[in-house]
Structure 1
């Protein structure tokens, strides 16, 4: 059999009703040329149709309709099990319209499920998801009314509650690499992440399915060296050599940036200070929570990305090792559509193993976004009205990090602030309250956190809260802020107020460097 085919041949290899395992993270490791041809075939011929998708992370660009969005057509998809949905609003629309069956499970659990599928295990056991919408006592991960089958079961083993995630089967794996040799061995030297590539290939091959890998290069003479092989040729059925390199970028933003796959120490790096706004205020206060014994960090996407910038600006970055859930360890995490990659990382591991490290308590401090919070300290980042964002790795990280910091603005949509005489001034209040009576969906359980004795802090530009035994408690207030007008009146519940209510550190509100020493 000739393993080398064109991307346009791929749709013919996918039967109607097949289950596809799809790999990618934001805009990394996405075999876009294959996706383009599969979408094109469906739009022109109506085939393949009624597909089932399983993906751990969300990936694609909603504006350009790329990545997972290429599968977001009525009739093309029957069911989807995904970790993060926010980058694929077309799939989310199908869920909201009850056009497809939909599940949202923790990203790390799905990554580990792929590995368990490879070994033909009956399913995946995990404590991740207890007390959240993934728990069968709540929603069991089901995200619309036509999704009926229970695929999450609660068990009690060895004196503890755990969740059992029902095993799945894969018929097709669509993957991305860098180079293929004449035997179909695949290397990933230009990929910023390795994700679940090997686990997916093994799972599909052991199920008698087809493994299809898109690459950039063919090594016509010789072989990829054994330790450089990411997917052995015995697991690869077909190789697609990308014809349009715009469909085979390192990320959707960059064709190739060697900094994402190299280790290098930069001496004397100078960083241009960022402007003093609400993001910088929040990031500064978050950075102050660190000490040098809290060495291993995780930054979520969005607001938390700024914390690395502050540590760099203050000359403190070298004392900490940031990690990103898809597998990068060390370096400086990239942002925006390059999120997931790190500049000059120390190591890159497969995503299931990164989540093994996370789930076992490897993170000292995790910084995650704050979208909705209630009086119990519950957080929702996964569902907002009709918008299905998905939990991604949020549940794995927040349940298992030794300390969790949620960071975000106090209100959303239109908030405008200023710093005058080193005091915070709310010029225009945001239209949307974040501190509400009941979160729409529990992505982080305050009750479970209290039960486990976890330290939890909520940082905004005007106030800092801590999760105490009796509920969420206001501990700090920004200079210039009126407690009644700017805090209590902008909340749908009355927080506890610390008897030792303090002003936030005045250095946070100054234009010059803080002189942070951790």
Structure 2
């Protein structure tokens, strides 16, 4: 007889139980990983670093939007390196990063293993995690974008003639106080390198991601402005912020040409900030940045 608090599925819902001896919990037939399950933890001395490329560049710049004591969410895609970057900089314990599948804190897995963390503080069930999100518990979220239009609307569920679905994107972006969208300015065979503190575009992407109009809207810039939310769009070569008159370009990467590499690769003209700045030079170095998180009031 089971203790009633141990029951997850009442018996009247079960007709038969089938045991699959070959069933696994990980994708692609990967072996059991007891670091992901929480049985083991990685020692702080274990070296885990990302190569200096456009993914790390975006993750680094995204980390600049975090504040001490904040609770955040990170979604699948280019922003999933934030936890590793924070670990490199020694500030991973200064905030809490969650994933919709349940992990609280720790180092986010990347690629097909995304959704599982190493060194988690807790692993909640997914419904409890979303209850927390729905209740407005997130200070900041980091979500990937597929397309962005001139009004700051974001599309992720339908683009390039394909329907991908929304996942938890709407639940998370609708309740977070600060929303950081991450991606590259173009897509399709984009190749870049970072050398001598500059971003070099070796091969431009075939597809523009900043478009004049979205086929369907997943995130509404208009509603975000009405709610007074802070919205940023971070790419490998430019950073934008959302204001009442649309997207404002506020930072560009050293080594890129404003007209050729940014404006000509967008289907609309953003407002260029009179205080347009270069992205922080520390982002483009192969050593640690010496970054410390600002207090929540900054």
| TM-score (norm: length of structure 1) | 0.54
User: 1:493-504, aligned counterparts within 5 Å?
Assistant: 493-504=268-279
Count of residues paired in the alignment: 292
Identify which of 45, 49, 60 aligns with 1:269: 45
Q: Matches of 1:438 and 1:288 in 2, distance apart?
A: 29
Q: Does 1:232 align with 2:232?
A: no
Q: Is the 8 A contact 2:159 2:215 kept in 1?
A: yes
Q: Matches of 1:347 and 1:385 in 2, distance apart?
A: 38
Q: Does 1:279 align with 2:55?
A: yes
| Larger relative contact order, structure 1 or 2 (CA cutoff 8 Å, min sep 6) | 2
Structure 1 residue 498: Cα displacement: 0.9
Give the match for residue 180 of structure 1.
Answer: none
Give the match for residue 423 of structure 1.
Answer: 198
Identify which of 218, 232, 237 aligns with 1:443: 218
Q: Is the 8 A contact 1:333 1:342 kept in 2?
A: yes
Structure 1 residue 351: Cα displacement: 2.3
What whole-Å deviation, never above 9, does each CA across 1:129-172 have from its counterpart, x for those lacking one?
Answer: xxxxxxxxxxxxxxxxxxxxxxxxxxxxxxxxxxxxxxxxxxxx
What whole-Å deviation, never above 9, does each CA across 1:391-410 have from its counterpart, x for those lacking one?
Answer: 11001111111111001111
Structure 1 residue 263: Cα displacement: 6.3
Q: Does 1:334 align with 2:109?
A: yes
What whole-Å deviation, never above 9, does each CA across 1:72-120 have from its counterpart, x for those lacking one?
Answer: xxxxxxxxxxxxxxxxxxxxxxxxxxxxxxxxxxxxxxxxxxxxxxxxx
Q: Call closer, same or farther: CA 1:333–1:419 in 2, change over 3 Å.
A: closer
Identify which of 208, 217, 237 aligns with 1:433: 208
Q: Is the 8 A contact 1:263 1:345 kept in 2?
A: no
Q: Matches of 1:329 and 1:228 in 2, distance apart?
A: 23
Q: Call closer, same or farther: CA 1:283–1:345 in 2, change over 3 Å.
A: same
Where structure 2 has 5 or more consecutive residues not aligned to the other structure, the ranges are 294-298
Q: Is the 8 A contact 1:296 1:322 kept in 2?
A: yes
Give the match for residue 296 of structure 2.
Answer: none
Q: Matches of 1:258 and 1:428 in 2, distance apart?
A: 40
Q: Matches of 1:292 and 1:347 in 2, distance apart?
A: 19
Give the match for residue 363 of structure 1.
Answer: 138
Structure 1 residue 318: Cα displacement: 1.3
- What secondary structure sits across from 2:35 in the alignment? helix
Give the match for residue 282 of structure 2.
Answer: 507
Structure 1 residue 225: Cα displacement: 5.0
Give the match for residue 484 of structure 1.
Answer: 259
- What secondary structure sits across from 1:304 in the alignment? helix
Structure 1 residue 435: Cα displacement: 0.6
- What secondary structure sits across from 2:17 in the alignment? strand
RMSD (CA atoms): 1.8
What whole-Å deviation, never above 9, does each CA across 1:380-425 have from its counterpart, x for those lacking one?
Answer: 1111233211011001111111111001111111111122321112
Q: Matches of 1:242 and 1:309 in 2, distance apart?
A: 35
Q: Is the 8 A contact 2:103 2:117 kept in 1?
A: yes
